[in-house]
Amino acid sequence: MGLMQGKRAVVFGVANDHSIAWAIARVLRSEGAELALTYVNEAIERRVRPLAGSLDVPLVLPCDVSRDQDIAGVFDVLREQWGALDIVIHSVAFAPREELSGRFVDTSRQGFQVALEASAYSLVAVAREAEPLLADRRGSLLTLTYFGAEKVVAGYNVMGVAKAALEACVRYLAWDLGPRGVRVNAISAGPLRTLSAAGIRGFRDMMHHHAERAPLRRNVTTDEVAAAALYLCSDLASGVTGEVLHVDAGYNVVGM
């Protein structure tokens, strides 16, 4: 039996077969979990449906996390189909491309609002709808963050601020949902070649810099991040909540 046998998980944020969310979906499925996936628009749907088919996942649901009615709709379906839920994966972040170049001080008001709403508040909105289903099974909520939340990463700009807000949300949600047995954690992954990373100016240099300076002298893989997600979502981490687990080849521990 797998670690996730008898568990049910919904994964927000699968964009293509290179995304962290997809790697997490694959490992959860390989360990026996029943899955549901979401997509944000028709273009993403065309990528997600074949991926879902490859894992025999029948539940593929539309959801724009900036719309409360979309989020509620996903959990209405899950309540009807499953009744309860064990795992929610939140791998959602967005900032307008123009805000990821130049100086952070020039961030527009609208760009700031979009980044914080899509990348941080969306976790709160998802958690609110998921709480009743997760509490029935003492479930787990997991999100994805990045080192730019803790230190300045040139070019990451408003996304760094949004990820800092996301990490604070993890702690506050862990406090709120803990009495009902629901755990909330985050993984701070090293730089990975994903669709969202393509919008960050100088990303190739960022990857090279990371590999040179991380204690393991390399970058991590999506499979390594997914393995950490498997741990945090499983009963092996039943006593872990409110944490940010770094999966970055040790880069975060280096000072100079």
Fill in the amino acid letter for 84.
A
> Structurally, how many domains does the chain consist of?
1
Q: Is residue 205 part of a domain?
A: yes
Q: Is residue 40 part of a domain?
A: yes
pLDDT single digits (tens) 65-83: 999 999 999 999 999 999 9
CATH number at residue 169: 3.40.50.720
Q: Is residue 230 part of a domain?
A: yes
Instruction: Identify the pLDDT of residue 204.
Output: 76
pLDDT single digits (tens) 70-122: 999 999 999 999 999 999 999 999 999 999 989 999 999 999 999 999 999 99
Fill in the amino acid letter for 194.
T
Long-range contacts of 163-169 (CB under 8 A, 24+ apart): 163/93, 163/119, 163/120, 165/116, 165/119, 165/120, 166/93, 166/119, 166/120, 166/123, 167/244, 169/120, 169/121, 169/123, 169/124
Q: Is residue 39 part of a domain?
A: yes
Q: Is residue 1 part of a domain?
A: no
Instruction: Identify the pLDDT of residue 255.
Output: 86
Q: Is residue 256 part of a domain?
A: no
Q: Is residue 189 part of a domain?
A: yes
Q: Is residue 2 part of a domain?
A: no
* pLDDT digits (tens), the chain, 256 positions: 699 999 999 999 999 999 999 999 999 999 999 999 999 999 999 999 999 999 999 999 999 999 999 999 999 999 999 999 999 999 999 999 999 989 999 999 999 999 999 999 999 999 999 999 999 899 999 999 999 999 999 889 999 999 999 999 999 999 999 999 999 999 999 988 765 655 566 667 778 888 899 999 999 999 999 999 999 999 999 999 999 999 999 999 998 7
Catalytic residue positions? 146, 156
Q: Which domain covers residue 238, as residue numbers?
A: 8-248
